[in-house]
Structure 1
Amino acid sequence: MSVNETSTPEEWLAAATVDPSVGALRPDYRALLVVAEGLRPGPSDAFSEELLAEAEAKACDPDQHPHITEWHEAFRAFGAKPKRTRPSVDALLRRAPEGLPRVDRLTDVYNAVSVAHVLPLGGEDLDLYVGPARLTRADGSETFALMSGGEPVTENPRAGEVVWRDDEGVTCRRWNWRQCVRTRLSQDTTRAFFVLDALGALDDTAVDEAGRALTAALVASSPGATTATRLVRPSA
C-alpha cells in the first residue's frame, strides 16, 4: 500500500509544494490541485465526446490569448523554446480546429476543461504517485520515464527546467509540456490528481471556475466520486 493510500486527500494535498525557485521565475504562478476518488475510468464515450465537442466549438486563437502569451514567457524564463515544446494548452488549442484527441474518458474530460478555460491542465494516477507532489527546478539528475519507438526509455531533464516530481522522479517535464508514462491516467485509474496551472492573466476567480468545471464533470461522469482541492503558490 502506497503512502498516498494511507493519507486522506486533504492530507496529501497539504504536503504538495511549489519551490521558491519557481516563484523567482514567475511570482504570479498558482496551481489549483484537485484529488478525485471513486472515478469510473474507461474509453472515450458519449459524455466525454460532448465535452470535447463543446470545447472545440469555443476554442480561442492561442496566438491572441494573453494567458498563452504569459506561458510562452514563462517557458523562455527557464530556457525552453515555447514554439518547439509548447505549453500543453497551447498545443491542444492548435489541434482544436481539426479535432481534439480522443484518449479515454478521464483524459478527455480534463483536456476539454483545459481548452474551454484556456489553462494548462494535467492528470496523474494518484495510486502510481510516490509521496507528495512538488513543483521545482531540476538539477538534471532526476529520471523521467517515457516510451520511444514502443520501448521504455529513461531521460533526464535539463538543469534548471521546471518540473513536477514525486519521490521516484519527474512526473511532468517543462512545467506542463509532457507527462511521464509511469503515473499517467489509464483505463484502470480510479484515484487521480489534477493540476490546473495559472499565471497572472488568469485571476483566481477564473481559476476557481475552471476547477469547478473540472470537478463537476468528474462527478457527473463518475456518480459517487468525491473531490478535494487546494490552491498552492510558491513557498517563501
Structure 2
Amino acid sequence: MIDDIYVDEAVTALRPDFAVLVISAYGLHNGPSDDRSRAWLADAGEHAVPVEHDKIEAWRTAYRAFGAKPQRTRPSVDALVRRMPLPEINLVVDAYNSVSVRHGLPIGGEDLRRYDGTARLVRAAGDEPSEEALGEPAIGEVVWRDDTGVTCRRWNWRQCVRTRIVEETEDALFLLERLEPLSLEELSAAGEELSALLTTISPDVRIDSRLID
C-alpha cells in the first residue's frame, strides 16, 4: 500500500520543501480514550508548539500559495494548538494528535480498510468527487484523494467521514507532513514517537514506514 502512495509534481513545485512520512499500521486494537491517552494529551498540551511558531506559519504560507485563507480554514496543526485542552477522540487519534502538537506538524489518520486504491496528494482539477460536508475543492487546491474521491481538503484542513479512524479501525495509514523549518530528523523522530504509542495501544501491531520527499 505505502509503496504506491505518491505526491504529484504540481504539489512539489508549489512547495519543494514538502515531505511526508507515511506510516501504515496493521492489527490495531483501537478503543475509546482511556487514562493512558488522556495522559498523552495532557503532556502534549504542556509541550505544544506555540500558535505563532515558524513551523505553523509555514503552513499558513503554503495555504495562501494555492489560494486558501488560513485564518478561515486553518491547517490542522494550527487548529489543534488553538484547541487546548486537546479533545478526547479515541486511542489512536489521541496518539497522533498528541504527536502533532508536540512537534508542530500536521498528521492525518486514515482507515485503510475504507480506502479505495492509492492515496495521492494532488492539485485539484475542480471536478473531484467530494463529500457534501467537505464541499467541492477549488481548481488548484491541494487535496489528498483516492479512487473514490477527496479524502482531505486543503492539504490537511478537513478529512472526509468515509476514511476517518474510528474505534473499530484495525488497519490505518498515517501521513506526517513536513515543511521547513521542521527538519527531516525531527520528522523521523515524530514518526518513531507515533509508532511507539501505537505499539503501546497494540503490542502486536505491524508497522511499516516510507519517506516521500
Normalised to the residue count of structure 1, the TM-score between the two structures is: 0.88
1:143 corresponding residue in structure 2: 129
Shift, 1:60, TM fit:
2.5
Given candidates 21, 28, 33, the residue that maps to 2:22 is 33
1:86 corresponding residue in structure 2: 74
Kept after mapping to 1: 8 A contact 2:20/2:175: yes
2:141 corresponding residue in structure 1: 161
Given candidates 176, 195, 215, the residue that maps to 2:175 is 195
Aligned length: 213
1:223 corresponding residue in structure 2: 203
2:86 corresponding residue in structure 1: 100
Q: Within 1, Cα distance between the matches of 2:49 and 2:58? A: 15
2:34 corresponding residue in structure 1: 45
TM-superposition CA deviations, 1:61-110 (whole Å, max 9, x none): 111x11111111100000000111111001000112xx111111111111
2:102 corresponding residue in structure 1: 116
Say yes or no: does 1:179 pair with 2:159.
Answer: yes
Q: Within 2, Cα distance between the matches of 1:187 and 1:59? A: 25
Say yes or no: does 1:55 pair with 2:44.
Answer: yes
Q: Within 1, Cα distance between the matches of 2:38 and 2:202? A: 15
Shift, 1:187, TM fit:
1.1
Kept after mapping to 1: 8 A contact 2:137/2:153: yes
TM-superposition CA deviations, 1:30-85 (whole Å, max 9, x none): 0000000110111111111111011011122111x111111111000000001111
Kept after mapping to 1: 8 A contact 2:44/2:102: yes
Shift, 1:131, TM fit:
0.6
Kept after mapping to 2: 8 A contact 1:41/1:189: yes
Shift, 1:146, TM fit:
5.1
Shift, 1:155, TM fit:
2.9
Letter in 1 for 2:63: F
RMSD of aligned Cα (Å)? 1.0
Kept after mapping to 2: 8 A contact 1:143/1:155: no
Q: Which has the higher helix share?
A: 1
Gaps in structure 1 of 5+ consecutive residues: 1-11, 148-153
SS at match of 1:62: coil
Q: 4+ residue stretches of structure 1 with deviation over 2 A?
A: none
Kept after mapping to 1: 8 A contact 2:80/2:86: yes
Normalised to the residue count of structure 2, the TM-score between the two structures is: 0.97
2:114 corresponding residue in structure 1: 128
Q: Within 2, Cα distance between the matches of 1:179 and 1:155? A: 11
Say yes or no: does 1:207 pair with 2:196.
Answer: no
Q: Within 2, Cα distance between the matches of 1:91 and 1:176? A: 11
Shift, 1:226, TM fit:
1.1
